[in-house]
Every structure is written in C-alpha cells, then in structure tokens.
Copies of this chain bind each other. A is one copy, B any other.
Amino acid sequence: MHINRSSTHHVWDRTIAPVAEIASGTELTVDTVEASGGQLTPDSTAADVAGLDFDRVNPVTGPFLVPGARPGDALAVDILEMSVGGWGWTACIPGFGLLAEDFTEPRLRISTIAEGHAELLPGLRIPVVPMVGTIGVAPPENGPHSMVPPRRWGGNMDIRHLGPGARLLLPVGVPGALLSLGDTHAAMGDGEVAGTGVETDGSVRLRVTLLPGAAPVTPVLETDPRTHRSGRALATTGIGPDLMTASRDAVRALVDEVVRRTGLAPADAYLLASVAADLKISELVDAPNWVVSAHLELALLDG
C-alpha cells in the first residue's frame, strides 16, 4: 500500500474520514509533505517565513483506520525505511522557538539534500539522519485539536530517534485508532531549539501492528543506533532552578561559543543548534539547581 502526499489534514479530529484501512501487520509506504504544507519552496526568502499561514502548517498524511483497534490497545509502528526530498528548509519563525525573545527576525535557510548530507550553509554539511516529527492517533476528545503540541496520543513529538529502525508504541484513543504522520526531517537536534529541523518531504515505509490491551500511558519508543551520534562534542551548560531557563542558557552559551569559534552569524549558529545539537538534562536532583547541557559534534565546526 502506498499513500501519496495529497491525503493530508491539518488538525487532529476523530471525525476526519480515513483515507485507507490497514489491517494489523500491514506494511505501507506513506508520503509526507514538508511542514510548511507547500507554502515554502527552494526559492523562498525570509519574508515568506514571516508570512506563513499557521493554519496550513504541519500537515499529516492520513488518517489510517486500523480495523479492530479500540481504546486501551496499543499501535506498534515500526519505521522500516525512510527517504527524504532533495531540498529542505530551516527557519527562525518570529515568536516561535526556545529563544524567540533573542531572535525576533525571520530567517530562512534552504538546504540541498544529496549524498547523505543536507547543506545548511555553504560548506556546512549536516549528516542526514531522517526522522518523523509528527506521528500520532486521533484524540478521543471531540472537536479539532491543534497540530502543534504533542499529546498523550503522540502527534508533534519531534523525537529525533523516530527514524528507520525505531519502534513506536502509541495508545489508541478512538475505535480504529486513526493514525497519521508527517513533518519529516532530514536532520534535527534533540530539542529542536529553533522550532524547525531540516524540514523536507518524506516517504516512510512502516508496519503497523495492533497490540490489544497494551496501551502505554504515554508513547514509548525503541530507538535504533543510527540515530545516536558519537563524535567528540562541544557541550555548553545552563545551570539554575528552572529547566526551561537552564535550557535557554545552555543554548545561548552554545550559540555564543559556536560564533566565537567559527564566525558564523548568531542566527545561523542558532539554526545549526536546532538541527544538530542535543539538549540533555545532565542533572535535576541537586536542589536547588539543575543542569541542562547542549551538545554539538565538533566535526561540524571544522568545515
């Protein structure tokens, strides 16, 4: 089964008619649209970012009805294979992102994607580690629900490890489950700090298996080693009593350090962090101060 990217929706809603039925155990290929929903192209500029219609962002392909699925069951989604488009976009969108107060101007970078790399800036090649940003099932509560926040039912979780080889367990919220996915990335850092990865069209081959009565409280993953990074890294820290503030401080420090080492514009360093840095909670038990660290492979700064 192959579902193309014309079958999308822009909100979660249990009343949206399914585009296909997939029996438990079925393998299917799902084409996905990049997160602007066609509003951005390789020729777009920062002005187009400022004019993005948020009612059209983050389309997902689906929903897929799984016969027999009921609330209390789990859907196991194995991501078997995945390809991404030939270009991608990464943007700083005013009012959006971890450091929205620092970076108030729109900014857009178009990457060419080829030979396993996305070229975010001339000569700055990010290894492609494809992943699915948004995957989830219809919430049981009536009415439309925004595509932006993730929920117990999955959705826009932006977990970097949801790529080929990963298995995702989602709780089923409504009869038939109504699975949808989209928001594919060629690369993204833990935290997606600027709010975007390398946003690109994708094609995802997956297998869906129904596990009766096995609903987890929140989504559970098994990750694949390909989504781990292992090179020598630069790591900066934020230290204080609030994890969000500490996260901001860590990312600010990373941006400053990258700028100091490379001469990149701060906003470009911020985008680089968004697609290639990992936000880790290093410590949250030594009251009253917690440590968040932001890690970036040093090899990315050598270019």
Contact = CB atoms under 8 A, between A and B. Distances in A.
Interface of A: 96-98, 148-152, 156-161, 165, 190-195, 216-225, 228-239, 243-244, 247, 249-250, 253, 256-257, 278-289, 291-293, 295, 298
Given A229-B228, A233-B223, A236-B220, A148 B286 contact: yes
Contacts of A222: 232-235, 298
B96 A192 contact: no
Number of copies: 2
B225 A231 contact: yes
A216 B158 contact: no
Contacts of A151: 239, 289
A97 to B, nearest CB: 5
Contact of A281 (B219, B237, B280, B286): B280
Q: Which A-B residue pairs are the 7 nearest by beta carbons?
A: A243-B243, A279-B281, A158-B283, A221-B235, A149-B289, A195-B285, A159-B282
Contact of A286 (B156, B217, B233, B280): B156
B281 A157 contact: no
A151 to B, nearest CB: 7
A224 B232 contact: yes
